[in-house]
Amino acid sequence: MKVFMLGWEFPPFISGGLGTACYGLTKAMSNLGIEVLFALPKPVEASHATHVRMLTPKPTPSGTEIEYAYDEMRNVRFLAIESMLSPYDVPQQYHEKFEAVIRTKRQVESAAGGAEDQAPGITHYAGDMFTEVHRYANAAVKLAMEEDFDVVHAHDWMTYPAGNAVAAVTGRPLVVHVHSTEFDRSGEHVNQMIYDIERRGMHAADRIIAVSHLTRNIIISRYGITGDKVEVVYNGVERNGNGDAAFMPRSGIGSEEKIVLFLGRITMQKGPEYFLMAAKKVLDEMENVKFVMAGSGDMMHRTIEMAAEMGIGHKVLFTGFLRGDDVERVYQMADLYVMPSVSEPFGIAPLEALNHDVPVLISKQSGVAEVLTHVLKVDFWDVNEMANKIAAVLKYPPLQLTLREHGNFEVRRLRWQDAAERCARVYSDVMVHV
């Protein structure tokens, strides 16, 4: 079986859970002997690519396509399409990035004395995000026509047009994988264009994979898809040995202090303001606790201001976006991980926290709440109860102990291998039908 997969991001170039999910799923598929061709809308920066092996860079009219491979995934080949798409951008951010690229290009070219009307580099990017999505689709089609495969698998909305086009050109069945919907990211203020792309992609697909029943319900009720077309495949988690991370100096945090961790993008979807409101209540009750917010996002400044306005600025630390070892360290310090998401299709981060022996408190509005039992659950809006549970974990050590023991055991049952096997079953289904 050979799969043409279309994604947005892949480690080490990630900004969130999607890249982690694609990595885990693809690796497990490779182990099952499924061949994967992975097309990514991401420029490969060689400096980051330590465990990535370049194969054959080949400049083409549609952009620079670079083939590379991971040593640990023998059955996977990566096709990178140079593009500025990144999964959690909004159109404005894309526009800013585009402007920045044009400015640099102009500077470079005027310095070089080249007086062409348009810099050649700019043709690689389109002027707005939606055109870029279609430019990416076009590039993907060209790549796909040189390859042979059985099924097309597209991850989230930016790749749906590409998936749709590749399926149409090659006649292969299309599976779209919904890791998140516009309703999760934007609440009721959806971007109509993104919604339309999602809707078209889901209707064009032969089968849809949702990461939870929560997401499946949104797909059925908001996108008008019939239930028999939507499968639920839960994400897994990589089991990594922990405890080898270096000791992190607890700067600004006393050794007697407890640490409550928020780790994720600081955006409306993740509910940072509910975290702060709960933090305020906990701090009214107890002294020796710090709240750490690790991550960045469009609500970061607003959140910092909010903490200051609430008078708890000195108790809330912002670390910015963390990678690699820093993530390990912050988990090692944490007494509790909180995910107060307003709408979380799945939520891999709590699994990683459990993997690092950190007990977790998650919102009931998350897909991962469907698979975890040995965790604390709360409605994201119920800040009183959230604070109650945070305080309980900090006050009653046996609670932390029991959650950690059982949670760490439970998380081992969530394996990417099972997710990959379920995807493979979906592939066989659609390959028979078409």
Partner 1 sequence: MSSVCFYFQVHQPFRLRHYTVFDRTPHYFDEFKNASICRKVANKCYLPTNRLLLKLIRKFGGQFRVSFSVTGVLLEQFHKYCPEVISTFDALAQTGCVEFLAETYYHSLSYLYSRSEFADQILKHIEMIEQLFGQTPRIFRNTELIYNNDLARTINAMDRFDGILAEGADHVLADRSPNFVYQPPDCDRTRLLLKNYRLSDDIAFRFSNRQWKEFPLMADKFARWINHVNGNGNVVNLFMDYETFGEHQWEDTGIFDFLSHLPYEVLKHPDNNFLTPSEVVERYQPVEVVDVPHIVSWADTERDLSAWLGNAMQSNALHEVYRLEGLIKQAQNEHLTADWRRLQTSDHFYYMCTKYFSDGDVHKYFNPYDSPYDSYINYMNVLSDLRKRCLASASGSAALTSA
Q: Which residues bind partner 1 (CB under 8 A)?
A: 281, 285, 373-377, 384-385, 387-389, 391-392, 395-396, 398-399, 401-403, 405-406, 410
Nearer to partner 1, 265 or 280 (CB): 280
The two structure tokens encoding residue 406: 């059982």
CB of 276 to partner 1, least distance (A): 17
What is the smallest separation between the CB atom of 370 and partner 1, expressed in angstroms?
A: 13
| Least Å from the CB of residue 347 to partner 1 | 18
Query: By C-beta, is 95 or 406 nearer to partner 1?
Result: 406
Contacts of 152 (CB under 8 A, 6+ apart): 3, 4, 5, 6, 144, 163, 166, 167, 170, 172, 173, 174, 175
**What is the identity of the amino acid at 320?**
G
Residues 6+ apart with CB under 8 A from 281: 383, 384, 387
Minimum CB distance to partner 1 smaller for 40 or for 386 = 386
Shortest distance in whole angstroms from residue 350 CB to partner 1: 14
Per the listing, tokens 């009307």 go with 117
Q: Which two tokens stand for residue 274?
A: 């509910």
Angstrom distance (rounded) from CA 174 to CA 179: 16
Q: How far is the CB of 346 from partner 1 (least distance, A)?
A: 19
CB of 145 or CB of 286, closer to partner 1: 286
- Nearest approach, Cβ of residue 262 and partner 1 (Å): 20
Starting at the edge strand found earlier in the chain, the sheet holding 174-178 runs 52-60, 63-70, 76-81, 35-40, 2-6, 151-155, 174-178, 207-210, 230-232
* Cross-strand bridge partners of residue 35: 2
- Separation of alpha carbons 276 and 306, rounded Å: 8
Smaller CB separation from partner 1, 148 or 285: 285
Coil, helix or strand for 293? strand
The token pair at 430 is 């659609």
Among residues 328, 319, 197, 212, which one has the least CA distance to residue 262?
Answer: 319
Closest CA to 237 of 374, 102, 414: 414
171 vs 398 by CB, closer to partner 1: 398
Closer Cβ to partner 1, 147 or 385, answer by number? 385
- CA-nearest of 31, 144, 20, 16 to 87 is 16
Min CB(22)–partner 1 separation in Å: 28
Q: Which amino acid is at 348?
A: I
CA–CA separation, 140 vs 38, rounded Å?
10
**Least distance from C-beta 285 to partner 1, angstroms?**
6
Q: What DSSP element (H or E) covers 125? A: none
- Residue 326 one-letter amino acid: D
Closer CB to partner 1, 318 or 380, in the complex: 380
Q: Give whichever of 123 and 396 is closer to partner 1, judged by the CB atom.
A: 396
Rg (CA), the chain: 22
Closest approach, Cβ 315 to partner 1, in A, equals: 17
Residue number, 177 or 315, with CB nearest to partner 1: 315
Q: Phi/psi of residue 134, each to 5°?
A: -75, -30
Instruction: State the minimum distance, in angstroms, from the CB of residue 402 to partner 1.
Output: 5
